[in-house]
Each structure stands twice: as structure tokens, then as C-alpha cells.
Chain A
Amino acid sequence: MRVIKQKPMTWGERLYIFEALRGLFTTIKHAARGLFRYETLPTISYPEGQPEVRNTYRAKHRLMLRPDGTPRCVACGMCAAACPAHCIFIEATASDDPRIEKKVKRFDIDHLTCVFCGLCVEACPVDALRMDTKEIVFEHRTRDEFVATLETLTAWNPKDYPDDEQSQVAPGGTKNAEARKVWGMEVK
């Protein structure tokens, strides 16, 4: 263990007035920098300036889409089981597609309760849930609006994810037509 002994104050420091002026100088220095050399400050003048968010940042969720536009989610409830904040509410129903058994009827994420840990994304067996929307701002007028529903979670544009192949498979994406051919395979 390192012991740091406090040095006794010198005569000049004990006078107080010089030290106070020295502190004031630091304050004035920063104030002047904000006035004349604003761009060198590390602070972002939010909301005019927006921080740069990487796609690995755990932002608002989105639900991935199949080529035909239905959510990939199979309503297995793994995300809800993994969620430490219990903020995911899922109801399932039978699917109309004969190849798929189960589809999601209700998928609500309460972003007021969510802790953005990303465990739901890890838990998803079909890669339906992602947190790469880069949307980090949640501003709403009522509590209900903070609950992301199936509609809001699936309302994303493939153009916002140009580098992600999986997103391009969704309707409106560059690879949608190709994927649709495979997806719409005849059911024997």
C-alpha cells in the first residue's frame, strides 16, 4: 500500500487570495476558449450536433424481415426469457404459411424498463432481433409511446443499412428480388 503524505501548504498558498485568482484564471481560460475557439472543445452542442454512433452500439431494437415482409420472429420467447428487466411481451399465434408454424402476434418492448443490455439479441435463435438502429434518443409525450410495438419495430428502411446483407433481403432492399425467388419456393 502506498501512503501519500499530504504536504503542508506553503506560505503563499495559505494566503488564499493568490490561489483563488489562479483558479479563476482557469475558469476564464475555458470561457474564452468557448467564445473564440469553440471547435476545439470536446463537448457536442447537442441537439444541433449529433454524436457519432457505431452500429455495434446497443441502440433501439428492430425486428428483421423475411423477403415477403413478415417479421422473422417465431415468437419463441427466448428474448423475453433472457431479458433481465422483463420488458419484452410476446404473444404468439399460428402462422398462415404452411412451412412456418408460429408467428408473432404481439411484440412489445417497453423502452422505459429496458436496460439495453443486448441479451435479447444474443438469445434470438433466428437473428430476428437486433439493436443496430443507432437510434439512441427516446423522446415521447406519454408513457405508452415508449413501448415499441410490432409496427414500429419492423418499420425500418433497408437503405439505412447498406452494408448489411441480411437487411437488404427485406422488401425494398437490393437483394429482395433474389431472395424472394428462393423464399417463394413451391411447397410440395
Chain B
Amino acid sequence: MSNYYNMPKLPTENSPKVEIFVDDKPVMVPGDTNLLEALKAVGIETPHVCYHPYLPVSGNCRQCLVEQEGPRGRMLVIACYTPVAPGMKIYTPASSARVKNARKATQEFMLVNHPLDCPICDKAGECTLQENYMEAGQNESRMRPEYGKNYHGNPAHQFIDAKGQLRGGKHVDLGPRVLLDEERCVQCDRCVRFMRSIAGSEQLQLAGRADHTYITTFPGEKLDHEYDLCVTDVCPVGAMTAKYFRFQKRVWLLSHTPTISMDDSLGANIWLDHADGHIYRVMPRCNPEVNRSWLSNTSRLAFQNFDKNRLPSMGVHKVTFGNGKIALVVGGTCTLEDLAALRMLKDSLGDRAEIFGGSLLKVGAPDGIAKSGDPVANRAGMKLLGFADVSEFMKRASEFESLVTVNADLFGEDPSAAKMLEKINCRVALSPFDDATVKEASIAIGVRHWSEVQGTMVNSLNILQKLNACPVCPDEALWTPYAALSYMAGKKFECASEAFKKAGEYAPVLAGLTYDAIKNTGKLLEGGNA
């Protein structure tokens, strides 16, 4: 069982290098971490099931065994819970048959009563057991067919299948979003540790002992937490499955687009997993600085509305405004490219135009996991490019004669603001969705959603992050917001990098940067973490 104190120390760029001997060869590894991470840093992968870099070390799966030279000879130790010490001598399966056999035996035990469900298992294709089997196992089955599989876990869910095998717990309803397959569970207790240490709400527990162990909730309680879908990510096997993705698509048919979740100013790094023009699921993308491996349910399930209630493509034309003042308002999901294009539109309109950014939604408190609570994702970017807050605009709304909103659903966010905004005669709305502001607008222009554009955003930690376009746009003729805005300004941006260059002209910290210079985990801008 894990306790609260043994979070693994992960190697960083500043880790001191120490020399250890792996298979009698000297290698330099990060010195302040565990052996598993140290070996990973020099390119030696160790199969593991229960170890997770962002969860406390539990060390119960015994899959990451290596041999260490000690005072009493060479002993098998688990790599995930052995700290690196200078000069230690380690033997991996490359040189030690004992390690190889030990790992193989561990693997065999783990698979004894694991059902042969791979063809119908949602995890198949990204399952740790499958990977480990190919790497460390490859045993021949010693199963005696007259016994078959014997599931001893939760006695309430046991049944005898058509072949006479004792099976159990195929779909246990854990909560509103997660289903548990008790039979597939290998009792790594990652989900228990996640709920205890990361989510901070101990809703899952291991019950029983030895091979009678099973995962359960407290009697009468359900697994229900803002981060409960993360247990399906950390589950190394197909035991925890998300109801929304269950049986939707085999994972090897999905393509992955790395991007940023634009519904929160922390900008959680995500994978958009898509196939045949639809997003099927959203997975967290590991970024140690931002969201680690976690993603809130809100960000994860938001994709279900990405292709609903969309505006069709329509001819973008230059809008001629009246003589009065013009307010240009951007919403939180606008990328830096959109902001630069809007700033260009402002310059072309002269002094009578003013730019505002933000939303009328309430700013919450950060939860310390993967949300900052601020619904305006690109707030830091707006500050960089000199956008005033939208509350400023609401105070002086009566001054303006025209209003241009980009991805900003002012009417929908605060219905009480509608009365004030309705006095503005000319209302132009650029939005991917047919929302309340579009319904009230005199001119509406459909644009691409943030999941379908390339761009950049600055998150609340002052990290510049890259969005990539996922090829799921319902209408290929839709314009990106930056293209539409720059066209209205008189000089259309043909690609996102052109708009990013323009953003560099407005914000000196962005000058000289290119998309290639931004790593997958983002780039910390000058000035450090805000």
C-alpha cells in the first residue's frame, strides 16, 4: 500500500549527474531520482504496471525488477522504489537471465486470472499488460483447460460462463462516468492512489486480500469527482473504462493531434483523438509544468459539443462601420493569431476603435491539478497584446456605436448585459457556434473552432503553448478567425505563422519566435512564471 510521502522524484534538466554501472558499463544518469526514471533517461525502458511518475510509488506489481550488487551479492530490487546512488551496479535483462526470468514469472502471475478479453477490451492497443507481455513475458500458457480462468474477486459479481469458468464483475457501475471491469483489474492501485493523493477525495478502495482483492467504492457511495475520468487514464489495463468512450472506437484507429484545451487559462495539454472526421475522445498530454498527466472532466468532455450547433461557412466580406466608436471584443478561446489580426483591424479603423478581451463569466479559484478556474484561456496573451478587460467595455458600452465580437458570447454569458448591448446598432459576430450573440447580431460570420485552427496561446503560468489543427472541421470552407479578421483589416493572413509574426510586432516577447522554437511542452516566456 502506498503512503502519502513517497512521490517519485523526477529527473529535471538540473539534476546532478552520477555514474552508475548498468550491465557493467558505466553510464551517467540523473542522481536525484529513482532507478526506473534514471534508466529511462539513458534509454533503457523498464516494464512497469503500478508505477506512475505523478503518483506516489506503491511498488506492488514487482514488474520492474532489476538486479543490484549489494553486500550480500546480487539481489533483485524494484527499480521504481530504489533511489539512484553513485557507483551502484545494476543488471538488466540484457545481461542477467535471473532478471529476465523474474520479470517473466511476474508477468505470468499477473496474467493467470486475467481474462483473455483483448479483442473486446477498450484498452487493447495501449494496454500496459500487452506491452509488458511483448517485452518481458511471451510465456506459453500453462493454463489447464479443465480449470480455465478463476476469478476470486468480488463474490457478489461472480458467475460461471458458458465454458464453465468462474468469471466475474464484467460491468460494475462505479459512478456516473466510470465503469469497472473487476476481472481485468490487476490491483495496481493506481486509481486508488490517484483519488487519494491527487484528487484528494478518497472514493476508491481496495477490498479483500491476495487474489480476492478488488477495487470498490464505499458502500452506497459512487465515484463522482471532477477528475474521476483520470482513473481511466492511469488504469494500465482495461478495468476502468469511461462510459462516453466505451466501445466507440478501437484505439489503433484513432489519430492524435496534440493541442491545448482552450476552456481554462491553465491551458491543459491534450491529445485530440480523432478518426474519420470526428473527435472520439480527449486525452491529457503529459506536460510536467502545466497539467502533468491530468485533465478535468469539463475539459475532457467539452469535445462533445464541438461539432454541435455550428455556423456554416459564408462569404466573409469587409464591413463598413458607421462614424461612431467601434468596440472589438474577443473571447477567451481566441489564439494569439486572432488577437494579432484583431489588433490589425483596429489599426486599420483608426482611433475610433478600441479592443477588449475576456468574458463575463466568473473567475474561479485554481484547483491545483489541471484547472486555474479562469474561463478566459488566453488572458495572458490578451494582456501581452494590449487588450483591455471586457468589464471596461461593459462600463462604457453606451459610448459605442458598433460592436465586433470574436468567439465572445456576451449575450449568452450574461443575459443581463443584453439590454445594454442591444442599444449598439451595428453588431458583428464571428463565432463557430450559433450562440445567443450570433442570434442577436446584425452580421454573423461562421469561423473555425479552436480545435480546428493552428495557433498559440499564453497560459496563466506565462508559458507559450502551441495549438494544432485537428482535421475534424464540419465545413472545410470555414475561415479561421485570424484569416477573417485580417481580411476585414485589408491584408489577409494566408497561414498562422504569418499572423504569429504579426503578433511578434505587437508584443516584443514574441518577436523572433517561430512555431518550431516552441516545444511540445510550451516555451516559458521572458519574465518567468507569473
Tell me if B321 is interfacial: C-beta within 8 Å of chain A: no
Tell me if B162 is interfacial: C-beta within 8 Å of chain A: yes
Interchain nearest-CB distance for B244 vs A (Å): 13
Interchain nearest-CB distance for B235 vs A (Å): 16
25 pairs of residues in contact across A and B, judged by CB atoms under 8 Å: A74-B120, A75-B120, A76-B119, A76-B120, A77-B119, A77-B253, A81-B250, A81-B252, A92-B248, A94-B246, A98-B159, A98-B170, A99-B161, A99-B167, A101-B117, A101-B120, A101-B170, A101-B171, A102-B120, A102-B247, A125-B119, A126-B119, A182-B162, A185-B160, A188-B158
* A123: nearest chain-B partner, CB-CB: B119
Known contacts A76-B119, A94-B247; decide if A188 and B160 are in contact (CB<8 Å): yes
Tell me if A57 is interfacial: C-beta within 8 Å of chain B: no
Distance, CA A78 to CA B252, complexed state (A): 11
Tell me if A183 is interfacial: C-beta within 8 Å of chain B: yes
Number of residues of chain A lying within 8 A (CB) of chain B: 20
Tell me if A24 is interfacial: C-beta within 8 Å of chain B: no
Distance, CA A101 to CA B40, complexed state (A): 37
What are the interface flags for A102-140 relative to B under an 8 Å C-beta threshold, 1 for contact and 0 otherwise? 100000000000000000000001100000000000000
Interchain nearest-CB distance for A13 vs B (Å): 66
Distance, CA A182 to CA B66, complexed state (A): 48
Q: A101-B120, A101-B170 provided; 14 other pairs, C-beta below 8 A?
A: A74-B119, A74-B120, A75-B120, A76-B120, A93-B247, A94-B171, A94-B246, A94-B247, A99-B161, A101-B117, A101-B171, A102-B247, A126-B119, A185-B160
Interchain nearest-CB distance for B114 vs A (Å): 15
Tell me if A15 is interfacial: C-beta within 8 Å of chain B: no
* A125: nearest chain-B partner, CB-CB: B119
Q: What residues of A have a CB within 8 angstroms of the CB of B160 in the complex?
A: 185, 188
Distance, CA A182 to CA B253, complexed state (A): 37
Number of residues of chain B lying within 8 A (CB) of chain A: 18
A187 B120 Cβ-Cβ under 8 A: no
Interface of chain A residues 60 through 116 with chain B (CB within 8 A): 74-78, 81, 92-94, 98-99, 101-102
Interchain nearest-CB distance for B403 vs A (Å): 45
A99 B247 Cβ-Cβ under 8 A: no
Question: A-contacting residues of B (Cβ < 8 Å)?
Answer: 117, 119-120, 158-162, 167, 170-171, 181, 246-248, 250, 252-253
Interchain nearest-CB distance for B128 vs A (Å): 20
Interchain nearest-CB distance for B521 vs A (Å): 33
Q: What residues of B have a CB within 8 angstroms of the CB of A126 in the complex?
A: 119
Distance, CA A50 to CA B246, complexed state (A): 47
Interchain nearest-CB distance for A110 vs B (Å): 15
Q: What residues of A have a CB within 8 angstroms of the CB of B181 in the complex?
A: 101
Distance, CA A78 to CA B253, complexed state (A): 12
Query: Most chain-A CB neighbours within 10 Å: which of B158, B162, B170, B248?
Result: B162
What is the interface of chain B mostly: helix, strand, loop, or mixed? Answer: loop
A77 B250 Cβ-Cβ under 8 A: yes
Q: What residues of B have a CB within 8 angstroms of the CB of A183 in the complex?
A: 162
B159 A75 Cβ-Cβ under 8 A: no
Contact of B162 among A81, A94, A101, A185 (CB under 8 A): A185
Which 10 pairs, one residue from A and one from B, show the smallest C-beta to C-beta distance?
A76-B119, A92-B247, A102-B120, A188-B159, A77-B250, A125-B119, A74-B120, A187-B159, A76-B120, A101-B170
Distance, CA A182 to CA B117, complexed state (A): 22
Q: What residues of B have a CB within 8 angstroms of the CB of A188 in the complex?
A: 158-160
Q: What residues of A have a CB within 8 angstroms of the CB of B120 in the complex?
A: 74-76, 101-102
Interface of chain A residues 164 through 188 with chain B (CB within 8 A): 182-183, 185, 187-188
Interchain nearest-CB distance for B181 vs A (Å): 8
Interface of chain A residues 20 through 51 with chain B (CB within 8 A): none
Interchain nearest-CB distance for B199 vs A (Å): 27
Distance, CA A92 to CA B248, complexed state (A): 7
Q: What residues of A have a CB within 8 angstroms of the CB of B170 in the complex?
A: 98-99, 101
Distance, CA A183 to CA B164, complexed state (A): 11
Distance, CA A76 to CA B117, complexed state (A): 10
Distance, CA A126 to CA B161, complexed state (A): 15
Distance, CA A81 to CA B250, complexed state (A): 10
* A102: nearest chain-B partner, CB-CB: B120
Q: What residues of B have a CB within 8 angstroms of the CB of A78 in the complex?
A: 119
Interchain nearest-CB distance for A157 vs B (Å): 24
Q: What residues of B have a CB within 8 angstroms of the CB of A76 in the complex?
A: 119-120, 250
